[in-house]
């Protein structure tokens, strides 16, 4: 398998006429995952295929499904309409329902060179995974007793079940990655002496920053990273009754929620800014509040005094002043606002930095991070690469995975004496905001949130808080995707007669006439419904992806072919939308082959079924043809209306050649109906009797 | 723009009956815009004819399809030559002009009209076209506030309205606006009602010698004949 191609989906354009654009979600993802693709597959209920797409772009999708900070959702343009797609939850659904834990990764060693990976956090594990896939012997060296780095010692179990992590670790071991735990590396020279040809340093950022206040060294004051590490490695630090956590990042929230789970009733977070500036994931903050954690904003501790085994913490209230270099308003102490609070334990979680042994001999830059070339991850030492938090300072799991993958590719280049070529962006990015007139026409569909563990049940133990979607929920959520970047384009400008049909039929007011009188269909506004493609009288408009362009025709071809092979003429051909009802399985009995004599042509929205497709279906000898869409449930506008127009046109043709127009039907099914398939059953019956009548008349052979 | 509509399938089938290999030829200009003979319609007709043939078990025609940018220019028709070597007939979905242009270009090839060329008009809304010009060759729109009584008045009268209109509608068709009422209203708006009071003498109905020819070449000498 070619890892280089696999890891950069934008390089996979096997077809030169693929004009799809990179959507904002994919662009925002550090791993550049093909999110639009797998969300699309989930919306059709094709979970296994969705998992395949996910696994192509991500070495440990199950882990990301729990802990990714989903920058993709922040970039999602659906948020301009209502709320972004719940991408992470959909990934979680795909890995659980798709059976990610059953996937076996296999690799064989092809190269003689050995690579050592110092640190087994997400960057180290990802690097090991890809290097192993590329055929290298890999050894992972970990100072702690178990693999995972921050995944193991930083992230609480209620956010990432250890079982998930263990499965990934086991998978690596099965692939043949050598693991050395309880092994702290002090010198790289030794590793080179042991025969390793390249080293990847990924030691993370485990050293907590100091608050720099009086009394910080007192017993009862502990730093966030240490606290979480102790709890995660199975220790139960004694915290007393009242705990304060200082900080506003994810570690602070994790520490507070962990303390709650250790049985502490009163946990307060002291944060020096207000909620809007809090860097922690808002969802986590919400859940912390639900669990009864008190967040005191605009407060900072200044002096800690230990008296009678308790901590007297002098605090000062803050107000927000001028913005600082991070763009957030700088907190300024308010005069005479000093107050004293008593706590048993104070957990300082105000940030972390890497701590690189000086014997490594690598150049250290700002914030104690290792300096590397960002495109090759090379350090100042030959053969030594570095990545992850050790280079970036505390960042996200996904960024670390991306760094690990990049390191693997660059180490491969280095060991094979190749010049590291920069990854070329072959596709344009899609950016820009949706116009108000377009937003207005996009159906608002409520975001489906996955259920959460009831909060009474939460605070007691370390069970996972976020639960997984049910089948129907996931499909309905995935259907909200706007499919940015796979809309239409006027591929054949020379054919365009500027008839303005597209401008008139578009439900979203996307096509427009520019000042020179040329029709334009801006890619960043198109909603990919496909109505204009089927209506364009010059056939000048096409969908941007070759697969989408051919889909209905190809599927019809398959249906006809398989019917020919079975020597049974299809009695009825049905063009069925694969989103919604069909994806959820409500109409499972109409899936391909499920009903005798009914052949199903799966389509991605009935708006893409053209009049000629309907004629072609009859041409194959079908006695009846139907189009079944999602009706009111369709995530797009006007789709049923346009199908009915085309059906009316084809019915006219049927009438003029002596076929009953009733042989062609449209069904706009909705799940609210008692039995959505009942109409279809009636139709099948009717066609049966029409056929019988023709047999009696001798028009067709039985 | 020239507006046409496709002929009924039965008529087309009757026309092509004697021929085996049929080239369905679309036109990428007016016929595309009026949904009568663009590439989409060519392909639809192709499929419809194949279906009709499959159902009836008639003579087995072989169909080919092609769409030219414009059938009414000889240079575009030049692109046809290689397409016509193996066909017996061309079913043109161009307007009447296109059909003749193709026939002129290919002296040995029968050419059939696939559409009924109807009028010169404009789009009212998607899929609906209205007649607007009769090509009378003597334009009076200056006097009638940009509304043509020749085309839009059922009677084509020059000094309207007649005594027929009721509530602004034509006596011949109560769904149709009376062109002369429209003219009156627009002249009033433009403060040119004096034009309404004028008498317009009958047009010169002396038969205009057909076919007409227009030339925009500057140096054309007088006496250069027609045809």
pLDDT at A14: 39
Q: Are the beta carbons of B51 and B74 closer than 8 angstroms? A: no
Q: How far apart are CA A448 and CA A92, in angstroms?
A: 14
At A605 the three-state DSSP class reads: coil
Mean pLDDT of chain B: 91
| Chain B CB contacts of A611 below 8 Å | 44
pLDDT at A415: 95
Q: How far apart are CA A60 and CA A166, in angstroms?
A: 11
The continuous run of DSSP H or E covering A615 comes out as helix A611-619
pLDDT average, residue stretch A129-149: 94
pLDDT at A674: 57
Shortest distance between the Cα of B32 and any Cα of chain A, in A, equals 6
Tens digit of pLDDT for each residue in A398-412?
Answer: 999 999 999 999 999
Instruction: Please indicate whether, in this complex, the C-beta atoms of A538 and B48 are within 8 angstroms of each other.
Output: no
pLDDT at A137: 95
pLDDT at A341: 92
pLDDT at A363 over 90: yes
The band of B227, judged by pLDDT with boundaries at 50, 70 and 90, is very low
Whole-Å CA distances, A301 to A77, A241, A294, A579:
40, 19, 16, 55
pLDDT at A13: 37
pLDDT at A541 over 90: yes
> Structure tokens of A98?
């798709």
Range with the lowest mean pLDDT among A560-569, A621-630, A655-664? Answer: A560-569
Instruction: Please indicate whether, in this complex, the C-beta atoms of A619 and B40 are within 8 angstroms of each other.
Output: no
The band of A338, judged by pLDDT with boundaries at 50, 70 and 90, is very high
Q: Are the beta carbons of A511 and A519 closer than 8 angstroms? A: yes
Q: How far apart are CA A595 and CA A540, in angstroms?
A: 38
pLDDT at A2 over 70: no
**Which of A504, A612, A659 comes nearest B55 by C-beta?**
A659
pLDDT at A702: 44
pLDDT average, residue stretch A501-515: 95
pLDDT at A26 over 70: yes
pLDDT at A435: 95
Q: Are the beta carbons of A464 and A165 closer than 8 angstroms? A: no
Q: What percent of chain A has pLDDT over 90?
A: 64
pLDDT at B141: 94
pLDDT at A12 over 50: no
| Chain A CB contacts of B69 below 8 Å | 494-495
Instruction: Please indicate whether, in this complex, the C-beta atoms of A537 and B43 are within 8 angstroms of each other.
Output: no
The band of A589, judged by pLDDT with boundaries at 50, 70 and 90, is low
pLDDT at A475 over 50: yes
Chain B touched by A497 (CB under 8 Å): yes
Tens digit of pLDDT for each residue in A228-252?
Answer: 999 998 888 889 999 999 999 999 9
Q: Are the beta carbons of A241 and A344 closer than 8 angstroms? A: yes
Q: What is the DSSP letter of A325?
A: T
| Chain A CB contacts of B125 below 8 Å | 504
pLDDT at A256: 95
pLDDT at A454 over 90: no
pLDDT at A470: 87
What does pTM read for this prediction?
0.87
Whole-Å CA distances, A273 to A295, A329, A664:
11, 8, 65
pLDDT at A8: 35
Q: How far apart are CA A413 and CA A423, in angstroms?
A: 13
Q: Are the beta carbons of A236 and A263 closer than 8 angstroms? A: no
pLDDT at A426: 76
pLDDT at B192 over 60: yes
pLDDT at A686: 85
pLDDT at A675: 63
Tens digit of pLDDT for each residue in A296-319?
Answer: 999 999 999 999 889 999 999 999
Chain B touched by A537 (CB under 8 Å): yes
Q: How far apart are CA A552 and CA A544, in angstroms?
A: 15
CA B108 to chain centre: 26
pLDDT at A399: 96
Chain B touched by A501 (CB under 8 Å): yes
Q: What percent of chain A has pLDDT over 70?
A: 91
Where is pLDDT greater, at A15 or A114?
A114
pLDDT at B223 over 60: no
pLDDT at A236: 86
- ipTM of the modeled complex: 0.89
Instruction: Please indicate whether, in this complex, the C-beta atoms of B51 and A505 are within 8 angstroms of each other.
Output: no
pLDDT at A593: 56
Question: In this structure, how many other beta carbons lie within 10 angstroms of the beta carbon of residue A162?
Answer: 16
Using the structure block, give the residue that is written with the tokens 């003219």.
B183
Q: Are the beta carbons of A630 and A577 closer than 8 angstroms? A: yes
pLDDT at A321: 87
pLDDT at B224 over 60: no
Q: How far apart are CA A10 and CA A12, in angstroms?
A: 5
Q: Which string of b and e fits A467-500 if b means at least 16 CB within 10 Å?
A: ebbeebbbbbbbbbbbbbbbbbbbbeeebbbbbe
Tens digit of pLDDT for each residue in B21-47?
Answer: 999 999 999 999 999 999 999 999 999
Per-domain boundaries in chain B = 2-119, 134-197
Chain B touched by A582 (CB under 8 Å): no
pLDDT at A374 over 80: yes
CATH classification (class only), B2-119: alpha beta
Mean pLDDT of chain A: 88
The band of A591, judged by pLDDT with boundaries at 50, 70 and 90, is low
């Amino acid at each position: 398998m070619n890892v280089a191609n696999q890891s950069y989906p934008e390089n996979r354009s096997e077809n030169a006429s693929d004009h799809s654009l990179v959507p904002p979600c994919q662009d925002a993802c550090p791993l550049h995952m093909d999110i639009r693709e797998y969300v699309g597959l989930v919306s059709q209920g094709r979970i296994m295929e969705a998992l395949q797409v996910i696994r192509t772009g991500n070495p440990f999708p199950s882990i990301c499904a729990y802990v990714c900070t989903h920058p993709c959702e922040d970039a999602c343009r659906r948020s301009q309409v209502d709320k972004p797609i719940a991408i992470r939850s959909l990934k979680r659904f795909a890995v659980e329902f798709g059976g990610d834990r059953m996937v076996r990764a296999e690799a064989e060693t092809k190269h003689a060179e050995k690579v050592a990976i110092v640190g087994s956090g997400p960057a180290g594990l990802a690097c090991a995974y890809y290097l192993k896939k590329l055929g290298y012997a890999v050894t992972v060296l970990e100072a702690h007793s178990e693999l995972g780095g921050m995944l193991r010692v930083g992230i609480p179990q209620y956010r990432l079940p250890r079982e998930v992590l263990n499965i990934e670790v086991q998978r690596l071991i099965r692939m043949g990655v050598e693991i050395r735990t309880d092994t702290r590396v002090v010198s790289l020279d030794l590793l080179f002496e042991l025969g390793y040809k390249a080293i990847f340093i990924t030691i993370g950022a485990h050293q907590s920053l100091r608050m720099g206040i009086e009394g910080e060294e007192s017993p009862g004051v502990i730093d966030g990273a240490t606290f979480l590490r102790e709890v995660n490695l199975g220790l139960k630090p004694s915290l007393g009754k009242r705990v304060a956590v200082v900080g506003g990042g994810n570690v602070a929230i994790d520490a507070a929620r962990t303390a709650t789970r250790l049985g502490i009733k009163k946990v307060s977070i002291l944060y020096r800014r207000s909620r809007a500036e809090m860097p922690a994931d808002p969802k986590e903050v919400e859940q912390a509040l639900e669990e009864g954690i008190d967040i005191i904003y605009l407060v900072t501790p200044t002096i800690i005094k230990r008296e009678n085994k308790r901590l007297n913490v002098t605090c000062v209230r803050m107000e927000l002043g001028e913005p600082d270099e991070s763009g957030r308003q700088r907190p300024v102490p308010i005069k005479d606002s000093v107050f004293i609070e008593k706590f048993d334990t104070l957990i300082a979680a105000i940030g972390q930095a890497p701590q690189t042994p000086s014997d490594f001999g690598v150049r250290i830059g700002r914030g104690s991070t290792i300096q590397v070339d960002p495109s090759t991850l090379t350090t100042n030492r030959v053969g030594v690469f570095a990545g992850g938090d050790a280079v970036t300072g505390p960042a996200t799991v996904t960024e670390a995975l991306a760094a690990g993958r990049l390191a693997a590719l660059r180490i491969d280049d280095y060991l094979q004496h190749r010049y590291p070529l920069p990854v070329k962006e072959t596709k344009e990015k899609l950016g820009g905001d949706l116009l108000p007139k377009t937003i207005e026409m996009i159906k608002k569909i409520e975001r489906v949130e996955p259920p959460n563990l009831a909060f009474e049940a939460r605070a007691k133990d370390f069970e996972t808080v976020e639960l997984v979607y049910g089948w129907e929920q996931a499909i309905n959520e995935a259907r909200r995707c706007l499919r940015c970047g796979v809309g239409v384009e006027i591929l054949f400008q020379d054919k365009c007669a500027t008839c303005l049909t597209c401008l008139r039929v578009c439900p979203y007011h996307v096509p427009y006439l520019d000042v020179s009188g040329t029709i334009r269909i801006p890619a960043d506004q198109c909603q990919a419904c496909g109505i204009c493609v089927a209506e364009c009288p010059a056939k000048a408009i096409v969908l941007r992806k070759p697969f989408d362009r051919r889909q209905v025709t190809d599927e019809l071809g398959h249906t006809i072919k398989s019917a020919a092979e079975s020597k049974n003429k299809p009695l009825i051909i049905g063009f069925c939308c694969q989103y919604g009802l069909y994806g959820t399985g409500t109409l499972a009995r109409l899936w391909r082959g499920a009903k005798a004599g009914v052949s199903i042509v799966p389509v991605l929205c009935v708006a893409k079924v053209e009049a000629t497709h309907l004629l072609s279906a009859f041409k194959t000898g079908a006695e009846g043809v139907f189009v079944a869409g999602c009706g009111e449930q369709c995530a797009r506008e006007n789709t049923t209306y346009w199908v009915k127009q085309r059906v009316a046109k084809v019915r006219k043709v049927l009438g003029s050649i002596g076929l009953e127009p009733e042989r062609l039907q449209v069904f706009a099914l909705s799940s609210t109906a008692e039995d959505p398939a009942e109409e279809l059953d009636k139709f099948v019956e009717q066609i049966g009797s029409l056929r019988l009548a023709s047999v009696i008349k001798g028009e067709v052979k039985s | 723009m020239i507006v046409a509509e496709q002929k009924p399938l039965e008529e087309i089938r009757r026309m092509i009956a004697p021929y085996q290999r049929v080239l369905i030829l679309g036109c990428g200009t007016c016929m595309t815009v009026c949904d009568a003979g663009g590439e989409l319609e060519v392909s639809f007709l192709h499929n419809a004819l194949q279906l009709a043939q499959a159902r009836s078990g008639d003579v087995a025609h072989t169909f080919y399809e092609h769409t030219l940018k414009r059938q009414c220019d000889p240079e575009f028709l030049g692109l046809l030559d290689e397409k016509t070597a193996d066909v017996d007939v061309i079913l043109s979905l161009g307007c009447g002009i296109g059909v003749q242009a193709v026939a002129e270009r290919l002296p040995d090839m029968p050419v059939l009209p696939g559409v009924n060329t109807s009028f010169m008009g404009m789009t009212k809304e998607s899929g609906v076209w209205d007649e607007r010009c009769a090509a009378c060759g003597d334009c009076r729109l200056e006097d009638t506030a940009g509304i043509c009584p020749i085309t839009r008045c059922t009677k084509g009268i020059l000094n309207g309205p007649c005594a027929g209109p009721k509530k602004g509608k034509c006596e011949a068709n109560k769904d149709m606006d009376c062109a002369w009422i429209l003219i009156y209203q627009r002249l009033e708006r433009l403060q040119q009602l004096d034009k309404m009071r004028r008498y317009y003498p009958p047009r010169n109905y002396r038969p205009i010698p057909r076919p007409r020819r227009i030339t925009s070449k500057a140096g054309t000498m007088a006496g250069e004949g027609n045809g």
